[in-house]
């Protein structure tokens, strides 16, 4: 399949007209940048002399940021702690024009912070501050109540599961059931240990490691890929599975048809952090704008190609997306084939 410029223009023109709900694990991504010139006398570790820092939205909040940057309206639901980090998070959300009114404060948790120390353009270490226990019934009920209150307004739901305890099986079942009854598109960025909880969704977007782990077969060949993709599709009773494959692009599996393989658009790769968030956000925005699943996968692939060229989590604008797609159309890259080579 060749995606033509006329079709790209029509889809991108319609991006920005939908309300999309994001439910999942919200976090802050902290970056400390510096240089290493010596080794510590206290232990055989480098001393990083920090000269700058950056605080970004992470996890489900980064998905919401991607949705906002594309022009659609994100409705973000999740939990935060009653702590200083939640105040910083609220300010970042405000800066990105994302409402924090649907966040539920859980006094038994802290707001998740992932701190990455970057020295000489290389990540040295990551330090996590988080709780990973599942939400208690009271907090789950509060979240579902908020979800129900906004359900009539939304066109799609993105489940952003990082395994931090927000996406519990009981909550997930109620959310999926409510969406199926309303005919609302459901997309899941999965945690591999929860894989078989995501039944009957519209699309699930694992990377090839997650997909192989969930199915119990490492993807080392085209035959493995096909078996894992179709096998997961059947077990999950899902409408589609989009397996991201790094430098090999993406493969879209749908019931009753051969898989579609999309080659990577990335021209440079600096950091894959948040690339999965961009993939699912762009895929869902494109779908809400009238793209079919193959078209949405091609467009999401373009979005991922932009993101991996940046350090840290980043969001893609509609203008950047159109520019990237135009560039690849001119070079004959905007295709989806039945052959994964």
Check the CA dihedral 151-147-164-127 and report its sign. positive
Report the distance separating Cα 17 and Cα 67, nearest Å.
11
Which candidate in 51, 277, 292, 326 is catalytic?
A: 277
Please provide residue 273's backbone torsions phi and psi, each rounded to the nearest 5 degrees.
Answer: -60, 125
According to DSSP, residue 337 is labeled: B
SS3 for 231?
helix
Q: Left if phi > 0, otherwise alpha if psi is -120 to 50, otherwise beta: which for 97?
A: left
- Estimate the crossing angle of helix 60-70 against helix 275-288, to 10 degrees: 50
Q: What single string gives the DSSP state of each residue in 81-132? A: -SSHHHHHHHHHHHHTT---TTEEE-TTS--EEEEEEEETTEEEEEEEE---
| Contact by Cβ (8 Å): 207, 243 | yes
Catalytic residue list contains 277: yes
- Tokens, residue 224: 């493995």
| Contact by Cβ (8 Å): 329, 3 | yes
SS3 for 325?
helix
| Contact by Cβ (8 Å): 104, 26 | no
Strands 26-39 and 112-119, bridge-based pairing = parallel
Report the distance separating Cα 5 and Cα 258, nearest Å.
25
Report the distance separating Cα 103 and Cα 86, nearest Å.
10
Catalytic residues: 277
């Amino acid at each position: 399949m060749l995606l033509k410029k006329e079709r790209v223009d029509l889809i991108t023109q319609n991006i920005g007209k939908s309300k999309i709900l994001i439910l999942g694990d919200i976090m802050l991504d902290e970056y400390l940048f510096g240089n290493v010139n010596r080794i510590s006398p206290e232990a055989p570790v480098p001393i990083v002399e920090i000269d700058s820092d950056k605080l970004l939205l992470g996890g489900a909040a980064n998905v919401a940021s991607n949705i906002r940057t594309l022009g659609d309206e994100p409705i973000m639901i999740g939990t935060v702690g009653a702590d200083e980090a939640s105040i910083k998070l609220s300010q970042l959300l405000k800066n990105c024009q994302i409402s924090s009114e649907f966040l539920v404060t859980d006094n038994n948790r802290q707001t998740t912070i992932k701190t990455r120390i970057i020295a000489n353009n290389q990540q040295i270490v990551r330090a996590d501050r988080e709780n990973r226990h599942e939400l208690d019934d009271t907090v789950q009920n509060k979240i579902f109540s908020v979800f129900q209150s906004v359900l009539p307004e939304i066109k799609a739901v993105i489940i952003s599961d990082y395994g931090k305890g927000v996406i519990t099986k009981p909550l997930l079942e109620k959310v999926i059931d409510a969406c199926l009854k309303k005919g609302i598109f459901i997309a899941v960025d999965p945690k591999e240990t929860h894989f078989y909880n995501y039944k009957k969704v519209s699309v699930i977007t694992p990377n090839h490691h997650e997909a192989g782990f969930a199915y119990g077969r490492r993807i080392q060949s085209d035959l493995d890929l096909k078996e894992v993709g179709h096998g997961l599709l059947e077990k999950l009773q899902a409408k589609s599975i989009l397996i991201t494959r790094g430098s090999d692009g993406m493969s879209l599996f749908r019931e009753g048809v051969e898989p579609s393989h999309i080659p990577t658009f990335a021209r440079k790769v600096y950091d894959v952090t948040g690339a999965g968030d961009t993939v699912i956000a762009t895929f869902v925005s494109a779908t809400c704008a009238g793209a079919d699943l193959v078209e949405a996968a091609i467009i999401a692939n373009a979005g991922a190609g932009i993101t991996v060229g940046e350090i840290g989590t980043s969001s893609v604008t509609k203008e950047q997306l159109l520019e990237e797609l135009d560039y690849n159309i001119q070079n004959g890259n905007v295709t989806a084939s039945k052959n994964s080579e």
